[in-house]
Amino acid sequence: MTSEPAITAFAPATVSNVACGFDVLGFAVAKLGDRVTARRIHEPGVRIARITGDDGRLPLDAARNTAGVAASALLTARGISAGVEISLHKGLPLASGLGSSAASAVAAVVAVNALFDLQAPPDELLHCAVEGERVACGAAHADNAAPCLYGGFVLVRSTQPIDVVRLPVPKDLACAVLSPRLEVATRAARAVLGDAVPLAAAVTQWANVGALVSALYTDDYPLMGRALHDAVAEPRRAALVPGFQAVKRAAIEAGALGCSLSGSGPAMFALCRGAAEARRVAGAMVSALKGATTGECSAIVTDLPAPGARIVASV
């Protein structure tokens, strides 16, 4: 075994879109995430030594792996010819709607940045992580990678160039996240959206994004509840997740401010006022899904804001 120093980074799960903010809004989720360990090697380039937690499904070829591509992008951007070996542990299920590919990419760039003491600014790290995302889903969106890296609640105004707005979070805001044991591939979920949005739906969506941002700044929970409505993606994607409508209805009846798909699903989230309400809502969501389908699921409750990616070990 090599005696080279190793750096391990953790990158959290994320909820993206947040109902009305397709491809532009997202927030970090505590407790769940991926880990990447990076160490220097003599051979140039990026090599993936091992991947655990994926049941052998992810490619070890760095050029086809989101973590490998992100790490390579950072080395290239900084003109570094030295080699890196990375090991990835998947704490997030694949195609879960919780930003699994973004977590791998972000953990990789954070680990490599620390390994070489690059002190790269967050925007540069995000740009490289988004290149890894492109491999996973075919689109360079940052609504998972940005909150995964920065933590908290963010709005991605632009990816070319990177322009991320960090949003405030009311002190009592909490989130219930339901994860069905089901996979929805991001590429497939994006394909059902098509490439056109009716003007009326677009206007509704713009209004809700503005209202949600205002609600975050003013702690206006009633306004937040009215704004958590997706007129663009959810109507087309809901059919991909059995039991979705029953879960959403149960969450609202249990007191949630709003409930929608997390990213492309199948995970679902519900924003709530207070952890106690979030726990009650989580229970209602689990019961509703089990009553509507035969599939298994799990749920967590997280306070907001949650921290972003960080170094967790250095040896």
Per-residue pLDDT band at 184 (split at 50, 70, 90)? confident
Q: What is the pLDDT of residue 4?
A: 80
pLDDT, tens digit, 9 for 90 and up, residues 112-137: 999 999 999 999 999 999 999 888 77
Residues with Cβ within 8 Å of 6's Cβ and at least 6 positions away in sequence, in order, are 37, 38, 39, 115, 313, 314, 315
Across the range 170-174, mean pLDDT stands at 96
Q: How far is CA 109 from CA 10, 34, 52, 120, 178, in A?
A: 11, 12, 18, 10, 28
Q: Is 120 exposed, middle or buried (0-12, 13-18, 19+ CB in 10 A)?
A: buried
Task: Look over the chain and give the mean of its residue pLDDT values, rounded to a whole number.
Answer: 94
Measured distance CA(15)–CA(264) in Å, rounded: 10
pLDDT, tens digit, 9 for 90 and up, residues 212-256: 999 999 999 999 999 999 999 999 999 999 999 999 999 999 999
In the chain, % of residues over pLDDT 70: 98
Measured distance CA(153)–CA(143) in Å, rounded: 10
Q: What is the pLDDT of residue 3?
A: 63
Is the backbone of residue 151 left (phi > 0), alpha (psi -120 to 50) or beta? left
Could you write out the DSSP letters of every residue in 151-167?
A: -SEEEEEEETTEEEEEE
pLDDT, tens digit, 9 for 90 and up, residues 98-118: 999 999 999 999 999 999 999
Report helix, strand and coil shares of the chain as percent, to nearest 5. 40, 25, 35
Half-sphere exposure of 309 (CA within 13 A, CB side): 33
Q: Are 96 and 266 in contact (CB under 8 A)?
A: yes
Looking at the DSSP assignment, which residues form a beta bridge with residue 176?
270, 301
DSSP 229: -
Task: Identify the residue whose tokens are 């994926």.
Answer: 54
Active-site position among 8, 14, 66, 186:
186
Give yes or no for residue 2 having a pLDDT over 60. Answer: no
Looking at the DSSP assignment, which residues form a beta bridge with residue 52?
89
HEC sequence for 72-139: HHHHHHCCCCCEEEEEEECCCCCCCCCCHHHHHHHHHHHHHHHHCCCCCCHHHHHHHHHHHHHHHHCC
Closest to 169 measured CA to CA, from 148, 150, 154: 154
133 is catalytic: yes
Give yes or no for residue 18 having a pLDDT over 90. Answer: yes
Amino acid residing at 99 = G
Active-site position among 85, 131, 133, 234:
133
Number of Cβ within a 10 Å radius of residue 276: 12
Closest to 29 measured CA to CA, from 16, 38, 42: 16
Task: Identify the residue whose tokens are 């709607």.
Answer: 97
Residues with Cβ within 8 Å of 64's Cβ and at least 6 positions away in sequence, in order, are 135
Closest to 11 measured CA to CA, from 114, 80, 159: 114
Looking at the DSSP assignment, which residues form a beta bridge with residue 35?
10, 89
pLDDT, tens digit, 9 for 90 and up, residues 67-90: 999 999 999 999 998 999 999 999
Domains of the chain (ranges plus CATH)? Answer: 6-167+306-314 (3.30.230.10), 173-303 (3.30.70.890)
